Structure 1
C-alpha cells in the first residue's frame, strides 16, 4: 500500500491540477439557474429533425438526419447555421455567429457582419447535430421579470419563445418557453450534508469495516451525478470521476491515510466544488431535479466524514511518548 499511495497522488495531481479550471467553465456554458428552458417541439415536424435543450438551458441542440439541409435563422431572419447531410456550416456574415459565441453574447461583432448580405458559409463540423447559444431562448436581462420580483417564492411562466428554421423555401419554428422556479432552501441541504458527515464519523470510527462501503456509496452516487450531467450535454467531468474512483477504491484499501486523502478529494472536488446546486432550481443534469443536490450533499457529507475519520485514526496510531 505504501508503494501505491505515491501513484495515487501522482494521478490525482495530474488530473486535478489541469482539470479544475476547465471543469469549472466547461464549454463556458454550464451553470445553475432559476429559469427552466423547455422545448415544446417544432411548429411543423420534419422526419429526422430533433430539437432539445442541453446544458441546463444554456444551449439548444438540433439534430438533422432528414437527408436535407436545414437552416437556423439569426436574430434578423438571416441564415445563421445550416445543418447539411455532410456537416454543419455557419454564416460568417451573420451577427448571430458572433453574438452567440459566449453565454452572455458579449463578443464584438465585426463590421462586415451584415444580415442583409448574401451568406458566406464556413464548415465548422462534420456532424449533423449542432448546439448553440440562443438569446431568444434565455432570460438575458440583468433584473428578474416584474412578476418574479413581486412574488419570488412562486413559479411563473416568464414568456414563450420561437427560433425560426428554414427547409429550402419552407419556414417553420422551434417553439418553447421560459419558466421561473423558486430556488431550494440551501440551508436545509447544508444541514443535511453536515448531519450526514457526523453520521459517517459515528459509524466508521468504531467500526473499521464500515468505512469502505460508505466510501463506495459516496463514489457511486458521484459517478451517477457525472452520468446525468453528461446526458444533459455537459460532457464528462474528470475531477468528479477521479473523486468517485478514489472513494470507491476505499472498499478494499482503507488505511487512515487513504481514507483522509479519498475523503478530502470527494468532499472538496465532487462536493464543495459543485455546491452551487444548493442555490438554484435548475441544474445542468438529466433526470430528477432533486438528484444533483442529493449527490452533492452525499459527496460533502461522506467525504468530510471519511476524511475526519482518517485523521482520527492517524492520531490514534501515533504512539504515546514514553514517560520520562
Structure 2
C-alpha cells in the first residue's frame, strides 16, 4: 500500500507535468502582449485636442488605444498615409487595402501582406467591432529591432530618448496627430529579486521541518497557510492589474480578458486562497492541500510571469517595483507552501515506520 508521501508525490508530479506541458506564454497571457519590456511608450498629446477623443498606451506600451465618443468619425492613417482604421458612432472598421492592417496584427510586424493590399487603392472597410474603442500595434511607437540603439549599448545604465513619434489622424476634414515618446529604461537587477524570492521560500519551507503533532508545528501550519492566502491575493491582484493595463474596462471587459488569456493565473490565485483557508481551519489533508496549491501558484502565477523581475516596464497599471513585489510574494508563498507541505507529508509518512521499528526492537 502506498504511503501518503508517495501518493502526494505522484499527484504533484502529474500536476507539474500537465502544467509544464500546457503553460505556454500564449496560454498564460493571450494575444502577444509582452510580459515586460525595457522600452517605455507614452502618449503625450492628441493635437489639436477635442472632446470625446482620447488615446493612451496599453499592454506595457505594446498597443495604442483610441477612444472616440464624438459624433464624427476619426481615421487612423497607415504608414503610407492611407486610411487604416476608422472609429465612429457606427463602430470600428479596418481597411483591408491598407498594409498596416496586416503588419500591425502582431507586435513583430511579420504578417504576410496580401497582394490586394495597396495603400493607393480605394479603401475596403470591414467592420470589426461595434464599440467606440480600437487597440492596435503601431510600429511608429515601438522599437522592433533585436538589439538596442547604439547610444543605449554605449550607456545601458542610463535612460535614453529613442525618438518622439507621431501617428497621423483624420477627423472629418481636419488633420490631427497622436504624439508620444519612446524611451529606453535600464532594466532592474533580476538577481537581487531572485535571491530575495529564494531566501523567502527557503525560510517558509523550513517551517515544514517542525513536528506536525507539536504546538510549534501547528503554529507553523497556520503561518504557511496565511502566507499562501496572501500569495493567492497577490496573484489575483496582479492578474486583474494585467487586464486593466491591457485596456479592459468595466466588470464585463475584465471578465472577458481573464477568460481569454489569464484564466489559469486567476484560478490558481483563487485556489491558493481557498487552500490556505482550508488549512487554517485544520481540515484533514491540509498539508497536501498546501503542497498542491503552492505548486500551482508558483508555476501558473509565479514562474509564468518571471520576466517582470528582469524588465523595466511591467504590464501593470502601477509602478514596476510594485509588480515585482507582488510576484516575489507569489513565488515565496507558492514554492514555500509546496516545500513546507511536502516536508510535513514526508514526516507523517515516516512516523508509522518509526513506530513499527520501535515495536519490533522491543519485542
TM-score by length of 1: 0.92
Once the two structures are superposed, residues 230-252 of structure 1 have per-residue CA deviations (whole angstroms, 9 ceiling, x without a partner) of 11017321111111112111333
Indicate yes or no: 2:330 matched with 1:317: no
Aligned to 1:229: 242
Residue matched to 1:248? 273
CA deviations 1:25-69 (Å, max 9, x no partner) are: 511233311100000010111110110001111110000101210
> By how many angstroms is 1:289 displaced?
1.5
Shift of 1:20: 3.1
2:66 is matched with which residue?
62
Name the SS of the counterpart of 2:195 in structure 1.
helix
Matched, 1:295 2:326: yes
Q: Secondary structure at the match of 2:84?
A: strand
Instruction: Please list the CA deviations of residues 165-193 of structure 1 after superposition, one character each: whole Å capped at 9, or x if unmatched.
Output: 00111111000000000110010000010
Alpha carbon RMSD of aligned pairs, Å? 2.3
Q: Match of 1:72, SS?
A: strand
Cα gap change, 1:303 to 1:90, in 2 (>3 Å): same
> Separation in 2 of the partners of 1:156 and 1:17?
38
- Give, in whole Å, the separation in 1 of the partners of 2:20 and 2:72: 45
- Find the aligned partners of 1:19 and 1:73 in 2 and give their Cα distance: 39
Instruction: Give the paired residue count.
Output: 316
User: Aligned partners of 1:190, 1:18: CA distance in 2, in Å?
Assistant: 24
Segment drifting more, 245-254 vs 200-209 = 200-209
Structure 1 contact 19–239 (Cα < 8 Å) conserved: no
Residue of structure 2 aligned with 1:193, choices 194, 197, 203 = 197
* Distance (Å, rounded) in 2 between the aligned partners of 1:17 and 1:197: 21
Label 1:292 to 1:80 Cα distance change in 2 as closer, same or farther (>3 A).
Answer: same
Which structure is larger by alpha-carbon Rg, 1 or 2? 2
* Contact 2:28 2:300 survives alignment (8 Å): no
Give the equivalent residue in structure 1 for 2:34.
Answer: 30
- Contact 1:34–1:180 (CA<8 Å) still a contact in 2? yes
2:230 is the counterpart of 1:217: yes
Shift of 1:208: 2.0
List per-residue Cα deviations over 1:49-105 (Å, max 9, x = no partner): 110001111110000101210000000100000002011001111111111111111
Query: Which one of 291, 295, 299 corresponds to residue 260 of structure 1?
Result: 291
Q: Structure 1 residue 20 and structure 2 residue 23: aligned?
A: yes
C-alpha separation in 1, matches of 2:335 and 2:21: 23
Alignment of 1:145-224 (within 5 A): 145-203=149-207, 205=210, 206=217, 207-224=220-237
| Contact 2:207–2:340 (Cα < 8 Å) also in 1 | no
Give unmatched runs, 5+ long, in structure 2.
1-7, 211-216, 248-256, 280-285
Give secondary structure in 2 for the equivalent of 1:139.
coil
Give the equivalent residue in structure 2 for 1:307. Answer: 338
Q: With the length of structure 2 as denominator, give the TM-score of the two structures.
A: 0.82
Counterpart-to-counterpart distance in 2, 1:18 and 1:167: 48
Specify the SS of the correspondent of 1:82: strand
SS at 2:168 equivalent: strand
Q: Which runs of 5+ in 1 are unaligned?
A: none
